[in-house]
Amino acid sequence: MHIAITGASGNAGTALLRKLQAELSQKPGSLQLTGISRRRPDTSRAPYSGVEWHTLDVGLASDRPLLDAALAGVDAVVHLAWQIQPNRDLEQLYRTNVTGTRNVLAAAGKAGVKQVVCASSVGAYSKAPKDRRTDESWPARGMPGSHYSRHKAEQEEALDAFMSAEPGISVARLRPALIFQRDAGSEIGRYFLGPLIPRLLPGRLRVPLLPVPEDLIFQAVHADDVADAYWRVIDQRASGAFNVAAEPVLTPQELARILRARRILPIPMGLLHAIVGAAWRLRLQPTDSGWIEMAAGAPVMDTGRARRILGWEPRFSAAEAVVEVLAGMGTGEGVAPSPVLKPRNVPSPAD
């Protein structure tokens, strides 16, 4: 089977390559892998070695011939390419996230692939109550105050249109919770907290007081477990939407336990929204307040469909995934061969 992965050097893409390389080690010759990214990783080092690489921008019309060539002869396309930063350039983000998705789908249809698997997100969903689980039937129309959520909703619309136009192609979409791993610590720190705050994280996580809204309730999943879900979808040629998240649901009480906080200081969600928005406008950190709106409104997902149909079960708890990424932020962890996941402090060749 020939599998092409867009965004193959990123957080989920690197984890998926690790998973596919492990499958290859068990069944040599069973898979042919193509990686597509804007910046080429060091292909001499795992998990990027043994992969045919194409360097291109999925959002650029001028790169469409390169994208068409990259997908020629491919059986399955896993579309993971997505941009979160630069947060202030919505035109660029839209080009990659929405136009890029449409370009990948058009190229996949032209190439006659058998399967398209797309990375959607919990952020694609419309606002939902936190006091019950929601399954894949919940509307995926996004939340208007978050550009990430709006773009994910438009991506879902593009997938729906593609399914109608290409009934012979199996189409699946994964809607994962926040994806964490230790190797993504530096990347996530850069994207969401800026260059300074991750350096202030202690080696041993412990805070005396946790100021957090009572209704800040969300889910997380380890990147390796997301990769396993992608592989199961490909291997079974499954279609449709799949929620992917680990247990437990992350409440303020659970976060306090993870961080060993002595007590929780409840603050209004509106106050957190205002603080983050002001800090973003002052360029003190790179995350706009739309991320708070999305966190406040995102559903608590029911993952029963992935468990029933795919046989998927996470190996890591949500708490373990959070501990890993926070530790990775504090120590500047990353994957040196990947331009996306590069560690905070990359040793010089002489070190």
In a domain, 38, yes or no: yes
In a domain, 196, yes or no: no
In a domain, 190, yes or no: no
Which tokens go with 309?
Answer: 């149909």
Which tokens go with 68?
Answer: 């068409």
Q: From first to last of the 351 residues of the chain, give the pLDDT tens digit.
A: 999 999 999 999 999 999 999 999 999 999 999 999 999 999 999 999 999 999 999 999 999 999 999 999 999 999 999 999 988 999 999 999 999 999 999 999 999 999 999 999 999 999 999 999 999 999 999 999 999 999 999 999 999 999 999 999 999 999 999 999 999 988 888 888 876 555 555 555 667 889 999 999 999 999 999 999 999 999 999 999 999 999 999 999 999 999 889 889 999 999 999 999 999 999 888 999 999 999 999 999 999 999 999 999 999 999 999 999 998 888 888 998 999 999 987 444 333
In a domain, 161, yes or no: yes
Separation CA 4–CA 15 (nearest Å): 14
Half-sphere exposure of 61 (CA within 13 A, CB side): 0
Burial track 283-302 (b if 16+ CB lie within 10 A, e otherwise): eebbbbbbbbbbbbbbbbbb
In a domain, 119, yes or no: yes
Domain count for the chain, please give it: 1
- Domain region containing 42: 2-176+220-244+300-314
Separation CA 344–CA 195 (nearest Å): 9
Which tokens go with 54?
Answer: 């194409």
Half-sphere exposure of 58 (CA within 13 A, CB side): 29
Longest dimension (CA), the chain: 58
Which tokens go with 344?
Answer: 């905070």
In a domain, 155, yes or no: yes
In a domain, 249, yes or no: no
Which residue type does 225 have?
D
In a domain, 32, yes or no: yes
- The set of residues, in sequence order, having a beta carbon less than 8 Å from that of 64 and lying 6+ positions away, is 103, 107
CATH code where residue 44 lies? 3.40.50.720
- The set of residues, in sequence order, having a beta carbon less than 8 Å from that of 56 and lying 6+ positions away, is 36, 38, 63, 66, 67, 70
Which class for 211: exposed (0-12), middle (13-18), buried (19 or more C-beta within 10 A)? middle
Task: Indicate left, alpha or beta for 97 from its phi (over 0: left) and psi (-120 to 50: alpha).
Answer: alpha
Residue 174 DSSP SS3 = strand
Q: Which H or E element spans position 329?
A: helix 318-331
Tell which residue, 319, 298, 182, 174, has the closest CA to residue 249. Answer: 319
Separation CA 221–CA 316 (nearest Å): 7
- pTM for the model stands at 0.94
